[in-house]
A and B are shown apart, each in its own frame.
Chain A
């Protein structure tokens, strides 16, 4: 068994018994179940799940990931004392964090969907987009959490940084965009807006799900623009590439910190 698989297996075994992760999965499943039962028809369920995903997934991945790295400090030191290559240890640790988180998300959303999906009129394409973006957001923010936690030994500071990053990316960034639109609304902004949307993984995920709903067709000129730029085949492809790049960036950052760090 190679080093990555070894570390990964240990990490997954550890997290599979974690009560917080269990609570996260069950909580998501409860929300999704309630939405399917009471949340109205079709698009409404996806849109409500979308809002839950955009807020919760980054928050849980960041907070849980940061806590987990601090809690695993001794385990990491033990691993590094073994004759294992550092890059392999990092990959194992990262996957050992991201995969259980993503699995909890996918099961939390997927089980209610499997129970109700076929019977309801929920658009399947949008749900696939939602599951995909949720999983990639999890991977992105888990890596960000590792980068933060490996960057500082002060737990309070690490946690504050994580929460700050969450607030900035889910709410602050869009607030800034809204301000830009209000200030510079007299100039043509459509291309700038599309670029700005690609500059934030949470926005990419949101736009990807929205364009996969037919709701975009309802939004007139901008909806049409939106669809032309991000709909069709090239749009989702662009969004997937952007999300993947967004995932790779914090992974790279965390990896570099891990390799250079003196434990």
Chain B
């Protein structure tokens, strides 16, 4: 009998726990504000919010395993005065909302959605409109930020915040988000092992992706277009960047991809098109740079003297004003089996590789690196003469050479 009672008690407890609490918010529902529903929620509850506009104080989630679902994309309006939602418990999911109008402040990094010291949160399919910071993760671990549409107010660098901001948030996955009009589209700082895939970061006031002190991160199939300063990846080890597109970063200080103090990374299968500078390497070393396409850039690659032991292979250089520029006569990176549209060599043994080396740094590129004004002579016939002279007596240009350039671009 006593055993039966204990069993019954256990069963009922389990049933109570498993019958997930389902709370509804909306006009005519039990709760009219999301904050009230969150306050009443037990761990594991699901809160469904009906369509409409909600103006209420910052919602603070402190209950774990909560799922917050917007039905018909309810709008949370901050009225230019506050943050909208803070997640302070593990395993919380937020899906299907629109967050708007946090206003601009210089007193704090005001974020529409802030995640503080939690694990495994999911921020999925939300819209962010005119938020200073849209999604701000601080000391979060293993979160997923997916399919959000973030449109900043479009302010300049000093009156704007980042789209997806990670600070000390390792193992975060940032997937399929669309970010425009923010300061930095995606910002990673001190976030080890984070992954960004299939995002589109477009026309942000500073960088499409800005990335500091975050080792072992991976970027795949992202698209960065017309960001004011391009993309900057700095002070990190073991970065993997594959199949991204870096497009149309134009301006005097714009780099489609700026790599500064990066070591032991791979850069494979990316496209660099239509930028002032495609790839800028400063203090970057031991990088594997393979199978990328550099097309119609001002400078395809700028290699500073402190970039060591990088290996370029299988890349394609087509229609760039300058293929490779450097500020030094000794270059400590190697080039092998790339395709250069400026190559004029021959291939007698028909193995698909040119029989004479290609020197991608033109004498003119060296002059321009030293004296930028000389750029006014671009395409001058005198440069044809200099180029011809260089091919015959390659004494002027740095030792850098591709010993076996490809005769044809790879398909």
Contacts and interface: CB of A to CB of B under 8 A. Distances in A.
A215 B297 CA distance: 8
Contact of A221 (B252, B318, B381, B384): B252
A193 B381 contact: no
A99 B75 CA distance: 70
Contacts of A182: 367, 371, 374
B249 to A, nearest CB: 10
Interface string B75-88: 00000000000000
A234 interface: no
A3 to B, nearest CB: 39
B383 to A, nearest CB: 8
Interface in B356-411: 367-368, 370-385
A220 B276 contact: yes
A51 interface: yes
A221 B274 CA distance: 16
Report the contact-size class of chain B (Cβ under 8 Å from the partner): 20 to 34
Contacts, number: 101
Interface string A183-204: 0010001100110010000110
Contact of B373 (A171, A174, A189, A202): A189
Contacts of B155: none
B380 A215 contact: no
A31 to B, nearest CB: 15
A77 to B, nearest CB: 38
Interface in B16-30: none
B298 A220 contact: yes
Given A171-B385, A224-B252, A206 B276 contact: no
Contacts of B250: 217-218
Nearest to A169: B381
Interface in B296-328: 296-299, 318-319, 321
A125 interface: no
A200 B341 CA distance: 30
B378 A178 contact: no
B381 A219 contact: no
A175 to B, nearest CB: 5
A177 interface: yes
B332 to A, nearest CB: 25
Interface string B283-299: 00000000000001111
B251 interface: yes
Given A54-B381, A220-B251, A224-B251, A197 B376 contact: yes
A194 B376 contact: yes
A181 B367 contact: yes
B277 interface: yes
B275 interface: yes
Given A44-B319, A171-B385, A217-B250, A181 B374 contact: yes
A79 B66 CA distance: 101
Contact of A219 (B276, B319, B371): B276
Given A170-B381, A219-B298, A193 B376 contact: yes
Interface string B258-275: 000000000000000011
Interface in B77-132: none
Contacts of B376: 177, 193-194, 197, 207, 222, 226
Nearest to B278: A218
Nearest to A176: B382
A42 to B, nearest CB: 8
A47 interface: yes
- Nearest first, the 3 A-B pairs at minimum CB distance are A218-B298, A221-B252, A174-B382
Interface of A: 40, 43-44, 47, 50-51, 54-55, 170-172, 174-175, 177-178, 181-182, 185, 189-190, 193-194, 197, 202-203, 206-207, 210, 215, 217-224, 226
7 contacts: A40-B341, A47-B379, A178-B367, A194-B376, A215-B321, A222-B375, A223-B298
